[in-house]
Amino acid sequence: MGLDYAAVEKEVCKKMTAETIVSMIRILVFPGALFLFTLAFFYEWVDRKFFARLQNRYGPLHTGPHGILQPIADFFKLLSKEDITPHASDKLVFILAPIFYFALPLTTLFVIPILSQTSLISFEGDLIFVIFAFTLIIITVFLAGWSSINRFSTIGSMRAAVQMLGYEIPMGLVMVGPAIAAGSLSISRIVEWQSLNFWLILLQPLGFAVFTVCLLAELQFVPFDIPEAETEIVAGWRTEFSGRKLALLRLGRDLELVLASALITSLYLGGSQQFWLIPPIVIFLVKTTFAVMLLSLLRAVFARFRIDQMLSGMWKYLLPLAALQIILIQLGLGG
Amino acid sequence: MEKENEIVEKLKDFLKEKLVRATVPKKRRIFIYIKKDALKDAMKYLVKDLKFKHLSTITGVDLGGEIEVIYHLAHEGSIVLSIRLTVSEKNPSIPTITDLIPGAVLYEREVHDLLGVNFEGHPDLSPLVLPEEWPQGVYPLRKEHELEHLREITSKKSKREERN
Amino acid sequence: MSYGSIIKVPFGPQHPALKEPGNFLFEVDGEIVVDVKPRIGYNHRGVEKAFELRTYIQNIYLAERICGICSDAHTTCYTQAIEELLGVEAPPRARYIRVIIAELERIHSHALWVGIAAHEIGFDTLFMYVWRDRETVLDMFEMISGNRIHYAMNTIGGVRRDIHADMVSKIKKGLDLLEKRLKYYLNVVQTEQTILKRAVGVGILKPKDAVDLCAVGPTLRASGIKNDVRVDDPYAAYDEIAFNVITHDGCDVLSRILVRCEEMLESIKIIRYGLDSMPEGIIRVQVPMKVPQGEVVSRVEAPRGELIHYAKSNGTTKPERYKVRSPTLGNIPALCKMLLGGYVADIPIVLAGIDPCFACMDRMAFVDVKKNKEWVWTMQQLRRKYAKK
């Protein structure tokens, strides 16, 4: 009966430390934060380059091969710039807003399966969490604009809030579509279901279309870049931000782009699944790059809507379409 | 030139002795000299009866002691009639024509800015092209102001701005 | 969307929608504009006073620099005024070359505007494409005159450079390309739903208001009124060339876009005709330095509308008084009318709708001493000054 309690304890501790280190690496390096930052910068480059080529321009050209390092260079340049906090602004909110704006999409990306069919953090109902996070991002945008006490920022943040009222509900509705089909509110389970059955874009094309349009609005891309319409209200809600804060806002925007493309991939394009011998991560990257290019293409071919036109369009056309998709699923089509 | 002469004849009949001189130097150009107090009547007649609806611009000229105000009107876009009158530099005041031609608002303000002609009844004669802190009573297009003098004013202004 | 309280929103002098300084103070009730107060003069360079201080020859170059876009319209207006005072006439070939340059300039100015209008409504792709094709015209200018913007083609008594036969074929080739592209853009503008959403029924200017407020050029023609100095009061060789005056009666921004697009196509026709029927001969006549006493009103249809110059000479080598009224100033009252009752989001496109050119507009009377000095500074002096800061 010479059980060495101390040795067992030591063993357990060792195991735990190893596990902690592994999970720390997973969260901080791969496929966590560091990997996601790289991805964010890469997708900004993809977006800029593809958008520029569509417009018959060259886009980023000089930093790195084909300008691939330009977004990183921009980021570090902004970090070194003077950081101005306006006197009249609500300082606490003004400082916190960029941090939230960058942290929210980053956190949300952890529930999306990237490396394999299960994500870093997965629980029943993480889809609801994603919907909630999208709302929080816009509330952060609103607070960021509102706290800077600038006419243009105030108008921009008001527009962001009003715009959210337009696209939030159709987006929430269509995001439930895949969940009904897979019979689960977990994104990992939806991806798993798709690998066993069909890609959901084939079953719910309507839902895919509505979701993409709503994501354009969420990302504030043309034709829904109303909250930061350059020619109307300067930079909208971002007018007063500079230096490090602006750098964080830009990184946050890029992470949001990653989140949007990852969601399109996971919910409608089958997510990260093994295909022959190709590892899931490669499949995931190819699909998300396609999603980013789809979003850039859409933002290149439209003119900006007016806020009232956007709202009425969303309620008149997109919401009924989203509802129709859900009804079709209930009737047994697309699920 | 028939139409031009016809217009001149009509104006002669209407204004009688208040029309000082009328010339038709070439096709589609008429110059009319009138007396100061006939402006309102002449304008009304030109705009309402002769259909000179378009006001191209108003020119002010400093003749030395007198300021000449020229209204360039156009008839259906083709015949340009320049109707002119002189006011004394001491009391340069004439009635506004904005009630007849609303488009004259900015032109009158411009002439007021640069030559100091006062248009009675104009809704708003605040500076249009000159800066807010421009000294009162300095009208840059009057011949009495040499270029050097105007430069002094602007340099004083920019020095003040540098101090602030 | 009205929130019941009125906010004053300044627009300019520095604002991304205005590429040049001008200030408009808007009183806004929610998203609706209830009052507009224009304030101009930020680009006031004292050109009119400067005219009185320079000789007639020097003034050609000054007139060229009133505006960067319609530089040729100003010199055409200036030179034909002085020619009339002198009693000389430009030779026929010079008059045709003036027409060709003027129409090329119209295409380049309108193309520039279409790009800007697309940018104002957030359609950057169209903006990039139109500006890419505008390069064709700028290349033609470079070939003819050596310059892309300030062509310096006009002089008193004719033009300074000839258009040779080898240029003609190159210009024609460029025009074919332009015509194809312009027809495509015309189609895009008429069919693209997001453009129509932003342009139809926006910035209404009724015909009666347009006439009362003395609007000029495409702004007036987009309100359905046929008015064009080229036809009504022909100058250069326009009386020998047949062309249509484009009008649209939508009275809104879309009509203004369509009028300009179709005018470009019409300009191409005029240039082709001009190139084919240009008479042979000299391109300029010698003129004396002194100009006899007299006065003259000279009008030109600049790309933005009627441009009027008034010149008074006193028998010396310098003018007694020179007055310039550019089309933008004539359109400002009409612009204020269009903006009233519109949405804040529509301000940029309505503002851009008249194709404002503030450099032309603010030309008049005082001389900025700072700028004058900077002009004569050498590069080293400049470097020294800014190295200190």
Distance from CA of C122 to the nearest CA of A (A): 5
User: What value does the mean pLDDT take over residues B148-154?
Assistant: 77
- Contact predicate A234/C14, CB 8 Å: no
Burial track A46-63 (b if 16+ CB lie within 10 A, e otherwise): bbbbbbbebbeeebbeee
Distance from CA of C166 to the nearest CA of B (A): 38
Q: With bands split at pLDDT 50, 70 and 90, how would you rate the model's confidence at B160?
A: low
Residue C119 touches partner A, C-beta closer than 8 Å = yes
Residue C15 touches partner A, C-beta closer than 8 Å = yes
Between these two residues, A119 and A70, which has the higher pLDDT value?
A: A70
Please report the number of interchain residue pairs, chain A to chain C, with beta-carbon separation below 8 angstroms.
74
User: What value does the mean pLDDT take over residues A86-91?
Assistant: 84
pLDDT at A45: 92
- Best of A54, A302, A312, A317 to mutate (most C CBs within 10 Å, chain C): A302
A232 has a pLDDT exceeding 80: no
> Where do the structural domains in chain C lie, given as residue ranges?
6-43+330-387, 47-320
Most confident of B9-18, B69-78, C171-180: C171-180
CB contact under 8 A, A304 and C198: yes
Instruction: Give B142's contacts in chain C (Cβ within 8 Å).
Output: none
Of C178, C176, C184, give the one whose Cα is nearest residue C126: C184
Residues forming beta bridges with residue C312, ordered by sequence position: C295, C321
Residues forming beta bridges with residue B60, ordered by sequence position: B69
B29 has a pLDDT exceeding 50: yes
User: What value does the mean pLDDT take over residues B127-142?
Assistant: 78
8-state DSSP, B83: E
- % pLDDT > 70, chain A: 97
Q: Which residue of C has its CA nearest to B127?
A: C39
User: What value does the mean pLDDT take over residues B96-120?
Assistant: 85
Contact of chains C and B by CB distance (3 or more pairs under 8 angstroms): yes
pLDDT at C227: 86
Residue A83 touches partner C, C-beta closer than 8 Å = no
pLDDT digits (tens, 9 = 90+) for C69-83: 888 888 999 999 999
* Rounded-to-integer distance, Cα A290 and Cα A295, Å: 9
* Rounded-to-integer distance, Cα C339 and Cα C36, Å: 8
Task: Find the CB nearest C125 among A54, A226, A309.
Answer: A54
Instruction: Give B59's contacts in chain C (Cβ within 8 Å).
Output: 310, 321, 323
Q: Provide CB contacts within 8 A for C338, sequence distance 6+.
A: C203, C204, C205, C350, C353
Between these two residues, B153 and C85, which has the higher pLDDT value?
A: C85
User: What value does the mean pLDDT take over residues B88-117?
Assistant: 85
pLDDT at C376: 37
Instruction: Give C54's contacts in chain B (Cβ within 8 Å).
Output: none
- Contact predicate C262/C102, CB 8 Å: no
A216 has a pLDDT exceeding 80: yes
For chain C, which ranges sit under pLDDT 50? 1-2, 364-383, 385-389
CB contact under 8 A, C129 and A155: no
pLDDT at C369: 34
Instruction: Give C9's contacts in chain A (Cβ within 8 Å).
Output: 151
Residues forming beta bridges with residue B120, ordered by sequence position: B95
Of B77, B133, B70, B116, give the one whose Cα is nearest residue B97: B70
The CATH class given to the C47-320 domain equals mainly alpha
* Rounded-to-integer distance, Cα C301 and Cα C231, Å: 9
User: What value does the mean pLDDT take over residues A110-124?
Assistant: 77
pLDDT at C217: 86
CB contact under 8 A, C228 and B55: no
Return contacts of B66-72, CB within 8 angstroms, 24+ apart: B67/B92, B67/B115, B67/B116, B67/B117, B67/B142, B69/B94, B69/B111, B69/B117, B70/C310, B71/B43, B71/B97, B72/C297, B72/C308, B72/C310
pLDDT digits (tens, 9 = 90+) for A154-169: 888 888 888 888 888 8
pLDDT at B159: 67
ipTM: 0.85
Instruction: Give A300's contacts in chain C (Cβ within 8 Å).
Output: 124-125
- % pLDDT > 70, chain B: 95
Task: Find the CB nearest A303 among C15, C122, C343.
Answer: C122
pLDDT at C377: 40
Of C203, C194, C233, give the one whose Cα is nearest residue C33: C203
8-state DSSP, C284: B
The chains in contact with chain B, meaning 3 or more Cβ pairs closer than 8 Å, are C
Assigned token pair, A28? 């901080």
Contact of chains C and A by CB distance (3 or more pairs under 8 angstroms): yes
Q: How far is CA A26 from the centre of its chain?
A: 20
Assigned token pair, C22? 């001008």
- Contact predicate C35/C24, CB 8 Å: no
B92 has a pLDDT exceeding 60: yes
Q: With bands split at pLDDT 50, 70 and 90, how would you rate the model's confidence at A107?
A: confident
* Rounded-to-integer distance, Cα A151 and Cα A86, Å: 13
A175 has a pLDDT exceeding 70: yes
